[in-house]
Amino acid sequence: MQFAFLIYESPEAFATRKSEGTESYTSAWRAYHKALVESGVFVGGDPLEVPETGTTIRIRDGKRGVQDGPYADTKEQLGGFTILELPSLDAALEWAARCPAASYGAVEVRPLAPQIRRKVTE
Amino acid sequence: MSESDRDDEKVHRAVERVARESYGRLVAYLSVHTSDLAGAEDALSEALLKALITWPRHGVPQNPEAWLLTTARHSLIDFFRHQQVALASEPDLLLLTQDSSKAVMETNFPDERLKLLFVCAHPAIDSTMHTPLMLQTVLGLDAVRIAGAFLVSPKTMGQRLVRAKTKIRDGGIRFEVPELHQLPQRLDAVLEAIYAAFGIGWDDLAGVDQRGRDLTQEAIWLARVLLQLVPNDPEVCGLLALMLHCEARRAARRGSDGRYIPLSEQDPKLWSLPLIEEAERHLADASKHGRAGRFQLEAAIQSVHAERGRSGRIEWTAIVRFYEQLNRISPTIGRLTGYAAALAEANGAEQGLAVLDAIGQDAVSSYQPYWAVRAHLLQLLGKSPEAQNAYDRAIGLAEDPAVREFLLQKRA
C-alpha cells in the first residue's frame, strides 16, 4: 500500500535551506532519498517552497477570500511530501524514523486513500 | 511547599517505589491461576489508584505490597461478581476469596514472575510481542511508551497487547515453568525478548533520550530478576554480562558536544569499572558450566573490547574467533556484519569485504550497519566511488542524527 510522508519543518529549518553551510542538510536528504530509491519503495514526492510563498484561497457565500501564507498558522509547516510503496504501517514508521526531518522537525505518516481516488477518477 | 504537599509527594514516591519493585510480582501472582493478565493488571492499577487516595490519609501501610495485593484481589472479586459468574463454579475465584481473608497479614507470597516471563515469551505468542508483553506485565510500562520504543502507533500497540493477552487467557497457555527437555529453548525465547528491550533502548539513546536510557535499565533489571529465579544457567549470566559491558560504556558513546564516538575510539577512562567488573564476574560464572552459547559469546566479544582499557589494544583475532563460533550457531546479518568488520581489522579490509559480498543483497537492503561497514572497508581499499555510494546508503538508513553526522563527515 502507499503512504504519504508529510514533512513538517520549523522556520529555522526552512531558513537553513537557503543559508550557507547547508552541506549536511542537503547530504542527509540526498542519502535518504537514495536509500528510498535503491530499496525500491520510492513512488514520488517533492520539497515545497517556504511557507511564506503560499497563497490560500477560500470562497464563502460567493465571496472570494485570498490570504497570504499557508492555510494553518502553526510553528511547524509542511515542507514537502514523499509517497512510498510499503507493505505496512510498521514498515512506513521505520522509514519515517530514518527521515532527516524526524530528528529536527516531524514526519506525519498517512496512508493514501485509493478507494476515494477511484470514486473521483472513474 | 506546604507540609501536606510534602506528604503527598512522599506517598507518591512510596507508591511509585512499590509499583516499580512489586508490579511484576503482583501481576504474576494475581494471574497465575486465572491466566487473565489484563484482569490482574486492571485490578492492580485500581489498587495503586486507591493507594494514592488512602495512603496520604492513613499513612503508608507497614507492608505496602501486601496491602496492594489484598486491594487488587478485592477488585478482581468485585469484577467477577459484576460479571455474574457463579461463585461455586469458578474454582479460581474461590481460591481468590479464600486467600483474601488472610492476605492482609500476608507478608510473603510466592514469586511467580518466572512463569510470567515464560508466558510472555511463549511459542504460541507472536515473537514480536514477547518483549512488549514483558515490558508491560512484568515492569508495568504503559502501551504508549512501549509503542514509542518499538516505532508502532500507540493504538496499534494497545490492540496487539490486548490480542496477545486474550490469547493467553483463552488459548490455554499455562503459567508454568517448562519441562526440563523444553527448558533451554523456552529460556532462550525469554533471553531474546529481554535482549530486544535492551537493543531498542540502546539504539534509542541519542545522548539526550531519557526514555531510551530507561529501557536499557529495564532490560538489565529483567535479567537480574531472571538470574535470581534461574541462578544456574550460563546463558542468563551471559546475557547479563553482555548488557553490563555495553552499559559500562554509556558515558563514552558521545563526545561532550553530542558527537557520536565509535567503540574503538572511545576513551576507556570514561567506562564504568564497577559495571565491567560485574560483567566479568558473570561471564566467569557462566564459563564454569562449559556450555558456550550465543549470549556468552557476544559478552566475550564485549569483554575483549573492555580489555583495551587495561592493555591499550584490541585483540581482533580473539573477536574473529568468537564471531566464527557465533556464526556456527546461526549466521544472522548482524553477526556476519560484525564478523566482517573484525576480520578486516585482523586480516585486512579485503577479507572483510569478501564476507560482506557473500551476504545476499535482499537481506541487507535496509540494514544500516552493513552499509556503514561496507563503506568503511571500501574507503580503506581506496575504492572511492563505491565507498561514497555505500556511505550514502548508510547515511540514508541512519536514524540517529549523531550517527548520520559522523558518517557524513567520514564520507567527505
Concatenate the DSSP letters of all residues of B187-206 into one string: HHHHHHHHHHHHHHHHHH--
Mean pLDDT of the residues in chain B: 88
ipTM reported for the complex, 2 dp: 0.83
Taking the CA of residue B295 and the nearest CA in chain A, the distance in Å comes to 27
Q: How far is A5 from chain B (nearest CA, A)?
A: 15
Residue B258, pLDDT > 80, answer yes
Structural domain boundaries enclosing A76? 2-121
Nearest-Cα residue of chain B relative to residue A27: B408
Tell me which range, A56-65, B220-229, B257-266, B370-379, is most confidently predicted by mean pLDDT.
B370-379
In this structure, how many other beta carbons lie within 10 angstroms of the beta carbon of residue B44? 25
Contact B395 A36 (CB under 8 A): no
For residues B235-263, average pLDDT:
94
- Residue B346 included in any domain: yes
Query: Does residue A11 have a pLDDT over 60?
Result: yes
What is the reported pLDDT for B98? 53
Using an 8 Å Cβ cutoff, are B105 and B89 in contact? no
User: pLDDT per residue over B205-247, tens digit each?
Assistant: 544 444 445 788 889 999 999 999 898 899 999 999 999 999 9
Q: CB distance from B405 to chain A under 8 Å?
A: yes
| Residues of chain B numbered 156-185 and touching chain A (CB < 8 Å) | 156
Q: Which residues of A touch B365 (CB under 8 A)?
A: 38-40
Mean pLDDT along residues A7-28: 85
- Grid cell 516499580 is found at B20
pLDDT tens per residue across span B41-95: 999 999 999 999 998 888 888 888 889 999 999 888 887 777 765 544 455 555 5
Give me the pLDDT at residue B17, please: 82
In contact, B359 and B327? CB cutoff 8 Å: no
CA distance B366 to B261: 23
Give the separation between CA B254 and CA B251, rounded to whole angstroms. Answer: 7
Higher pLDDT, B77 or A38: A38
Residue A21: per-residue pLDDT: 67
B411/A27 Cβ within 8 A? yes
Looking at residue B136, its pLDDT comes to: 93
Are B404 and A28 an interchain contact pair (Cβ–Cβ within 8 Å)? yes
**End-to-end Cα separation, chain B, in angstroms:** 55
B366 interfaces chain A, CB cutoff of 8 Å: yes
**Is B396's CB within 8 Å of A94's CB?**
no
Whether the CB-CB separation of A93 and A109 falls below 8 Å is answered with yes
On whether any CB of chain A is under 8 Å from the CB of B393, the answer is yes
A98: nearest CA in chain B?
A: B399
Give me the percent of chain A exceeding a pLDDT of 90: 72
- Whole-model pTM? 0.86
Number of domains chain A is built from: 1
State the pLDDT at residue B209. 47
In this structure, the dihedral spanned by the alpha carbons of residues B253, B259, B263 and B269, taken in order and rounded to 10 degrees, is -60
Sheet holding A77-85, edge to edge: A42-47, A77-85, A2-9, A106-111
Per-residue confidence band for A29, with pLDDT thresholds at 50, 70 and 90: very high
In a domain, B91, yes or no: yes
- The answer to whether position B53 is within a domain reads yes
Lowest mean pLDDT among A45-59, B76-90, B290-304: B76-90
Chain A and chain B share a number of CB contacts under 8 A equal to 61
How far apart are alpha carbons B139 and B133 in whole angstroms?
9
**pLDDT value of position B97:** 53
Question: Are B392 and A90 a contacting pair at CB < 8 A?
Answer: no
Of B152, B395, B401, the CB nearest to A27: B395
| Residue B369: domain span | 334-412
| Alpha carbon B268 to chain centroid, angstroms | 25
> Domain containing A7 — which CATH number?
3.30.70.1060
Count: domains in chain B: 2
Domain boundary among B103, B130, B147: B103
Residue B19 counted as domain residue: yes
Query: Is B1's pLDDT higher than 70?
Result: no
Which of residues B72, B103, B134 is at a domain's end? B103
Q: What pLDDT digit, counting tens, does each position of B401-412 carry?
A: 999 999 999 998
Name A7's bridge partners: A80, A107
The full length of chain A comes to 122
> Cβ separation of B401 and A104 shorter than 8 Å?
yes
Task: Show the cell assigned to B407.
Answer: 558518517
Closest CA to B101 of B152, B62, B66: B66
Q: Which of A26, A88, A98 to mutate to test the interface with B (most CBs of B within 10 A)?
A: A98
Picking from B55, B70, B103, the residue at the C-terminal end of a domain is B103
